[in-house]
Amino acid sequence: MENITFRIRRYDGTNTWVQEYRLPYEKGKTILWALTKIKDEIDPTLNFTSACRHAICGSCGVKVNGHAFLACKTSLDKLLETFDTSVLYFEPLGNYDVVRDLVVDWKPKMEKMKKIKPWLLPSREGSIEEGFRQSKQQFAKISSSTDCILCGICASECGQLAINDGGYLEPFIINKAYRFAVDSRDNAPEEHIRPVLENELWKCIHCMQCVSKCPKEIPLTDEIAYLRKETMKMGEVHNQGARHAYAFYHDVKKWGRLNEMTLPIKTDGMVTTLRKRIPFAYRMIVKGKINPLRLPKAVKGIKGVRKIYQQVEEESKS
């Protein structure tokens, strides 16, 4: 390959267009190298953001061929191999307002972040003199989540944000809530968790984009599961998400399998199910996809399954 073609989506505040640039191929270069070279040597009007060049500041997130990357950390060779092409299409991060070219507006996201109180609400155990000490085990709980560099890649790729009207929180905000909720020095985890619940926590669609694309490999989906569990411990069990999760929990315990017939009733309640789902149920019955008369049978070995349940439950109580 002699050249790489860069097709970059441009935006001047009013108009959008695609501009093409070409650079001679050089082995071992990064996305950021290409953007910098284009700006320095071909077109000084191209706008993008970057700062540290060491995957620490998080300012150079950009989309290439439909996927978000940290520009300073991602090698062009990897992209050319992944997409088996010499043409790369650059866009600003998704799910952000665009300011210019590849520059996005962070202000609305930071305003949203305030909802979850992204700061320590300290316990009384520490003091100015002694500080707020943590054991290694306590630090381990926040170690991964504090790696977040606010690059916005998780938000760019989030499947729920792409279809949401603005109520859902960006995964990096959820991560921040988790980070303070589990911090041993914080005295008010509920104050971080409750805003996440109230901002559509259960609407995560499990697309796994955030956890797959995070350049710091933060286990964001595990954090979402943890926060959900904590909301249920707080007594927030009368919502669709919690009831849906418990339907699985109880069905597996009782029969070993999910009962699809009763799942809508367990999730939405009888009244809502009857009100909302009759046309749906009708077309399912007509096609033989559900059988209201089918009764579930417990799987072979169900007693063993229940014993596993019992043991895990006892352990979590102790």
Q: How far is CA 309 from CA 250, 251, 255, 266, 298, in A?
A: 10, 12, 12, 20, 15
Using rule CB under 8 A, residue 275 touches other proteins? no
CB of 146 to other proteins, least distance (A): 21
222, 234, 270, 275: which one binds other proteins (CB under 8 A): 222
Strands in the chain per DSSP E: 3-11, 16-24, 61-64, 67-70, 87-91, 98-100, 103-104
Q: Is 261 in the site for other proteins (CB under 8 A)?
A: yes
* Interacting span for other proteins (CB under 8 A) from 37-45, 128-136, 189-197, 207-215: 207-215
Contact with other proteins (CB under 8 A) among 16, 82, 123, 143:
82
Residues ≥6 apart with Cβ < 8 Å to 296: 251, 255, 257, 259
Nearest CB to other proteins, comparing residues 132 and 255: 255
Question: Which one among 83, 87, 89, 126 touches other proteins, defined by CB under 8 A?
Answer: 83
- Cα–Cα separations (whole angstroms), residue 271 to 38, 161, 236, 280, 293: 61, 30, 21, 15, 20
Measure the N-to-C terminal CA separation of the chain; round to a whole number of Å: 63
Q: Considering only residues 49-68, where is the footprint of other proteins by CB under 8 A? A: 65-67
Q: Which is nearer to other proteins, 50 or 221 (CB)?
A: 221
15, 137, 316, 318: which one binds other proteins (CB under 8 A): 316
List the one residue from 33, 202, 262, 269 that touches other proteins (CB under 8 A).
202
Is residue 18 involved in binding other proteins (CB under 8 A)? no
- Subset of 227-246 contacting other proteins (CB under 8 A): 228-229, 232, 239-242, 244-246
Is residue 73 part of the contact set for other proteins (CB under 8 A)?
A: no
Rounded Cα gap, residues 6 and 258, in angstroms: 49
Amino acid at 212: S
